[in-house]
Chains A and B, each alone.
Chain A
Amino acid sequence: MSTQIQEEPEETETEATEVAPAERESPGDRRRAERDAGRERAAATGPVGDVEGESFRLKVFRYDPEVEGKMEPRFDDFRIPREKGMTVLDALIYARDHYDTTLTFRHSCRQAVCGSDALFINGRQRLGCQTQISDLDHPVRVEPLPHQDVVKDLVVDMEHFYDQMHAVEPFFQGDAPEGELEEQRQSRENREKIKMSTRCIWCGACMSSCNIAAGDNQYLGPAAINKAYRFAMDDREEEDLKEHRMNVLDQEHGVWRCQTQFSCTNVCPKDIPLTEHIQELKREAVKQNLKFW
Chain B
Amino acid sequence: MQEHDVLVVGAGGAGLRAAIAAHEEGADVALVTKLHPVRSHTGAAEGGINAALREGDDWQLHAYDTMKGSDYLGDAPAIETLAQDSPEETIQLEHWGMPFSREDDGTVSQRPFGGLSFARTTYAGAETGHHMLHTMYEQVVKRGIQVYDEWYVSQLAVTDDEDPSERECHGVVAYDIKTGQIEGFRARNGVVLATGGLGQVYDHTTNAVANTGDGAAMAYRAGAPLEDMEFIQFHPTTLPSTGVLISEGVRGEGGILYNSEGERFMFEHGYANNAGELASRDVVSRAELTEINNGRGVNDEYVYLDMRHLGEERITDRLENILHLARDFEGVDGLEEPMPVKPGQHYAMGGIEVDEHGQTCIDGLYAAGECACVSVHGSNRLGGNALPELIVFGARAGRHAAGTDLGEPEIETGRSEEFEREDDLDTPVEPGAVETGSEDAVADGGAAVASGEEVVRRAVENERTRVDRFLEKDEGVQQAELREKLQKSMTQNVNVFRNEEGLKQALEDIREVREAYQDVYVADPSRTFNTDLIQTIEMRNLIDLAEAITLGALARDEFRGAHWRQEHQERKDDEWLKHTMLAWNEGRPELYYKPVILEGEEKAYEPKERSY
**Pairing of A with B:** yes
- Residues of A near any B CB (own CB < 8 A): 64-67, 84-85, 87, 96-98, 100-102, 104-105, 107-116, 130, 132, 151-153, 155, 158, 162, 166, 169-172, 174, 176-177, 180-188, 191, 194-195, 198-199, 201-202, 231, 234, 236-237
Q: Is B330 touching A172 in the complex (CB atoms < 8 A)?
A: no
User: Could you say which residues of chain A place their CB within 8 Å of the CB of B142?
Assistant: 169, 171
Q: Is B528 touching A65 in the complex (CB atoms < 8 A)?
A: yes
Q: Is A85 touching B330 in the complex (CB atoms < 8 A)?
A: yes
User: Could you say which residues of chain B place their CB within 8 Å of the CB of A116?
Assistant: 35-36, 39
- CA of A98 to CA of B480, assembled, Å: 8
Q: Is B526 touching A231 in the complex (CB atoms < 8 A)?
A: no
User: Could you say which residues of chain A place their CB within 8 Å of the CB of B161?
Assistant: none
Q: Is A102 touching B526 in the complex (CB atoms < 8 A)?
A: yes
The 10 closest A-B pairs by CB, nearest first: A172-B97, A185-B106, A102-B524, A171-B138, A176-B95, A171-B142, A97-B480, A114-B39, A85-B241, A108-B208
Stretch in contact with the other chain, from B1-9, B125-133, B579-587: B125-133
User: Could you say which residues of chain A place their CB within 8 Å of the CB of B125?
Assistant: 195
- Residue in B94, B245, B328 whose beta carbon sits within 8 Å of that of A183 in the complex: B94
Q: Is the C-beta of B96 less than 8 angstroms from some C-beta in chain A?
A: yes
Task: List 18 additional A-B contacts (Cβ < 8 Å) besides A172-B97, A202-B38.
Answer: A64-B526, A66-B526, A85-B242, A85-B330, A87-B329, A109-B43, A111-B242, A112-B328, A113-B127, A114-B35, A152-B526, A185-B105, A186-B102, A187-B102, A188-B104, A191-B101, A201-B38, A201-B130
User: Could you say which residues of chain B place their CB within 8 Å of the CB of A113?
Assistant: 43-44, 127, 130
User: Could you say which residues of chain B place their CB within 8 Å of the CB of A132?
Assistant: 328, 331
- CA of A114 to CA of B37, assembled, Å: 9
CB contacts under 8 Å to A, within B127-177, are 127, 130-131, 134-135, 138-139, 141-142
User: Could you say which residues of chain B place their CB within 8 Å of the CB of A162?
Assistant: 36
User: Could you say which residues of chain B place their CB within 8 Å of the CB of A152?
Assistant: 526, 528-529
- CA of A198 to CA of B43, assembled, Å: 12
Q: Is A110 touching B141 in the complex (CB atoms < 8 A)?
A: no
User: Could you say which residues of chain B place their CB within 8 Å of the CB of A96?
Assistant: 480
Q: Is the C-beta of B439 less than 8 angstroms from some C-beta in chain A?
A: no
- Residues of B near any A CB (own CB < 8 A): 35-36, 38-41, 43-44, 53, 87-88, 91-92, 94-97, 99-108, 125, 127, 130-131, 134-135, 138-139, 141-142, 178, 208-210, 241-245, 324-325, 328-331, 478-480, 484, 522-532
User: Could you say which residues of chain B place their CB within 8 Å of the CB of A105?
Assistant: 531
Q: Is B209 touching A110 in the complex (CB atoms < 8 A)?
A: yes
Nearest residue (CB) in B for A32 is B327
Nearest residue (CB) in A for B94 is A183
User: Could you say which residues of chain B place their CB within 8 Å of the CB of A198?
Assistant: 99, 131, 134
Nearest residue (CB) in B for A153 is B529
Q: Is A183 touching B36 in the complex (CB atoms < 8 A)?
A: no
Whether A107 contacts B209 in the complex (CB less than 8 A), given A130-B328, A186-B106, comes out as yes
Nearest residue (CB) in B for A230 is B99
A108, A162, A177 — most chain B CB neighbours (10 Å)? A108
Q: Is B91 touching A182 in the complex (CB atoms < 8 A)?
A: yes
Q: Is B329 touching A108 in the complex (CB atoms < 8 A)?
A: no
- CA of A66 to CA of B528, assembled, Å: 7
Q: Is A111 touching B135 in the complex (CB atoms < 8 A)?
A: no
Nearest residue (CB) in B for A200 is B134
Q: Is A181 touching B208 in the complex (CB atoms < 8 A)?
A: no
Q: How far is the CB of A109 from chain B (nearest CB, A)?
A: 5
Q: Is B529 touching A155 in the complex (CB atoms < 8 A)?
A: yes
- Residue in B127, B138, B242, B478 whose beta carbon sits within 8 Å of that of A199 in the complex: B127
Nearest residue (CB) in A for B479 is A101
Nearest residue (CB) in B for A187 is B106
User: Could you say which residues of chain A place their CB within 8 Å of the CB of B36?
Assistant: 116, 158, 162, 202
Q: Is B529 touching A104 in the complex (CB atoms < 8 A)?
A: yes
Offer 10 A-B interface pairs, CB within 8 angstroms, sorted by A: A66-B526, A104-B524, A108-B210, A112-B328, A172-B135, A181-B91, A186-B99, A186-B102, A186-B106, A195-B125
Nearest residue (CB) in A for B140 is A171
Whether A110 contacts B39 in the complex (CB less than 8 A), given A174-B97, A184-B94, comes out as no
Whether A183 contacts B108 in the complex (CB less than 8 A), given A64-B526, A66-B526, A66-B527, comes out as yes
User: Could you say which residues of chain A place their CB within 8 Å of the CB of B39?
Assistant: 108-109, 114-116
Q: Is A151 touching B331 in the complex (CB atoms < 8 A)?
A: no
Q: How far is the CB of A279 from chain B (nearest CB, A)?
A: 22
Q: How far is the CB of B135 from chain A (nearest CB, A)?
A: 7
Q: How far is the CB of A111 from chain B (nearest CB, A)?
A: 5
User: Could you say which residues of chain B place their CB within 8 Å of the CB of A177?
Assistant: 95
Q: Is B97 touching A236 in the complex (CB atoms < 8 A)?
A: yes
Q: Is B531 touching A104 in the complex (CB atoms < 8 A)?
A: yes
- Residue in A110, A182, A183 whose beta carbon sits within 8 Å of that of B242 in the complex: A110
Q: Is B43 touching A114 in the complex (CB atoms < 8 A)?
A: yes
- CA of A188 to CA of B124, assembled, Å: 12
Q: How far is the CB of A77 from chain B (nearest CB, A)?
A: 19
